[in-house]
Structure 1
């Protein structure tokens, strides 16, 4: 008997018009490394006192549960397909350009966020369909590594549906768009403070979270009615190696807590002038930190930088330059 392998189980996705209705077009093939979507439909206990039982201890039939679908997907930092995932995370971008390359500028803080349908084949005539998928978080590191840069998206959804039967795929008959791959090597990431690349940065992490909360209205359904976007959080945690000279350690002066002054920080993934991703955080605060000597080797410290909005700008913007005009 042959074993189902993940290598050919390509994900297909499309943006929905509303939270409840599955989408079928325009559809896109979405390359990924792994996914872990689950229905979140458990079995609730029902400790009813009744006559038709065998004994006084064993469980009785379960009761219906509220669904709380969630999951995650790991994708490459691919400049073309990231348009799909970043639209889910931040909402529609402001796009400029009459031809390749196009510039898409995403901004944090939007109150309304889109939903998508995602479908993964699970063998012959069987599919896992994620309805009302929303991106709750995006995280990645900017260490110098081999391979391609990977990003992890934390997701929520309305429903994870098991579909069976020939011809019953939600994307049956569709010809999904397949984008040209434009993956960023894991060596490309750079970190900057106030527009100056920090040469002694040895890596770190970035995380943006929408803090989506399920809304359960009295609508007769076991599935979430929608998700309310809470206050987003945006932070980065660079690891910096100290030098002997004071001038080389200027970055440490940014980590003074609320007593310090706000500064700008950015993370760049530049493949080329026409394929890149730059995350800008124009108003940041560095959490107070004191480096520690951990032994005889290099002295390093890891700081936490929090991005906040200003009077005329969001906490962060992400500029994606690629060959895709629009979804």
Structure 2
């Protein structure tokens, strides 16, 4: 009997025209490292008395469909997750390379249908009405560069046959994997390289509001974005007073987190107004002194938004 193995797992996604309705075609095979996306339905213990010490059967509670997907930050597939986080991009370029600019502040976000498959069982789970709640990643000197996409879905449909990986007239599109690495990363502050950075974290959250209406199927009616949040952390070797002075004065700065491949593809995430807290400078021992800044971002009055994500690649459209 075949047993499920993560090495054979596969994932495909497509953006929906109608929330909660999986498209019949137009899926794209997605690279991913791990996924906790799934549906769960807890049981409620019976509170009734009068039938002895042994409890009565439990009652099913509401269905919750959500989870995280860990994906590589690459030149092509990552654009789908950026579209889910920010909405449709503005694309320029008559031919490759194309420049896709994603901006924060959109009132409506697209929903996706995502199918995960374990063909050896077989088990194919279609998650419809997936809306991206949070996108986060870390910058460091070495290691594999991945991002975590937190999703809220409307529901799960499980079957033995695939809807997205069919071999008929509409097989899923396959992308060229051009992965960025930590070695390709750089951080700038107000257009100037920021030195002495040990690590950095970036988290963008749409802070989705689940529409939990009463339905016969127990699913939600939607997930609406509320006030967005962009936060992070930078850990630096304490070499000068620039960041501390900014924190004390309360002035914002622009920060740019970028990755560039030798072949020309790039991903640049620009935060237009970063506010730094005043950190505690501790001397923990004979090693170098480090300072940690848990920063927050806000809407920049001049640019008119909080952040901009720019992806340059050979993809004509998302």
The interval holding the TM-score normalised by the smaller chain is over 0.9
- 1:58-114 deviation line (CA, Å, top 9, x unaligned): 332232321221100111111100111111111111111111111111111212111
- 2:37 maps to 37
- 1:5 maps to 5
- 2:142 maps to 145
- 1:253-296 deviation line (CA, Å, top 9, x unaligned): 2222xx42121111111114731111111112111113111111
Q: Is the 8 A contact 1:215 1:225 kept in 2?
A: yes
Would you say how many aligned residue pairs link Structure 1 and Structure 2? 314
Take 1:212 and 1:57, find their aligned partners in 2: how far apart are those partners?
43
Take 1:168 and 1:75, find their aligned partners in 2: how far apart are those partners?
22
Aligned ranges 1:126-205 → 2 under 5 Å? 126-146=123-143, 148-164=144-160, 167-172=161-166, 173=168, 174-205=170-201
Q: Return closer, same or farther for 1:26/1:2 CA change in 2, 3 Å cut-off.
A: closer
User: Structure 1 residue 305 and structure 2 residue 303: aligned?
Assistant: no
Q: Find 1:77's aligned residue among 73, 79, 82.
A: 73
Taking structure 2 as the reference length, what is the TM-score of the superposition? Answer: 0.93
- 1:27-85 deviation line (CA, Å, top 9, x unaligned): 100010000112032223343457xxxx4233322323212211001111111001111
Take 1:293 and 1:206, find their aligned partners in 2: how far apart are those partners?
26
Taking structure 1 as the reference length, what is the TM-score of the superposition? Answer: 0.90
Take 2:107 and 2:40, find their aligned partners in 1: how far apart are those partners?
25
- 2:311 maps to 320
What RMSD, in angstroms, separates the aligned Cα atoms of the two structures? Answer: 1.8
TM-superposed CA distance for 1:219, in Å, is 4.2
Q: Is the 8 A contact 1:37 1:160 kept in 2?
A: no
Query: Any stretches of 5+ residues in structure 1 without a counterpart?
Result: none
Over 4 Å off, 4+ runs: none
- 2:246 maps to 254
Q: Find 2:280's aligned residue among 290, 309, 327.
A: 290
Take 1:317 and 1:204, find their aligned partners in 2: how far apart are those partners?
18
The structure with the greater share of residues assigned to strand is 2
- 1:159-183 deviation line (CA, Å, top 9, x unaligned): 122212xx45355333111111110
Take 2:71 and 2:55, find their aligned partners in 1: how far apart are those partners?
42
Q: Is the 8 A contact 2:70 2:146 kept in 1?
A: yes
Aligned ranges 1:270-289 → 2 under 5 Å? 270-272=260-262, 274-289=264-279
Take 2:90 and 2:48, find their aligned partners in 1: how far apart are those partners?
56
Q: Is the 8 A contact 1:75 1:152 kept in 2?
A: yes
Query: Any stretches of 5+ residues in structure 2 without a counterpart?
Result: none
Q: Is the 8 A contact 1:193 1:251 kept in 2?
A: no
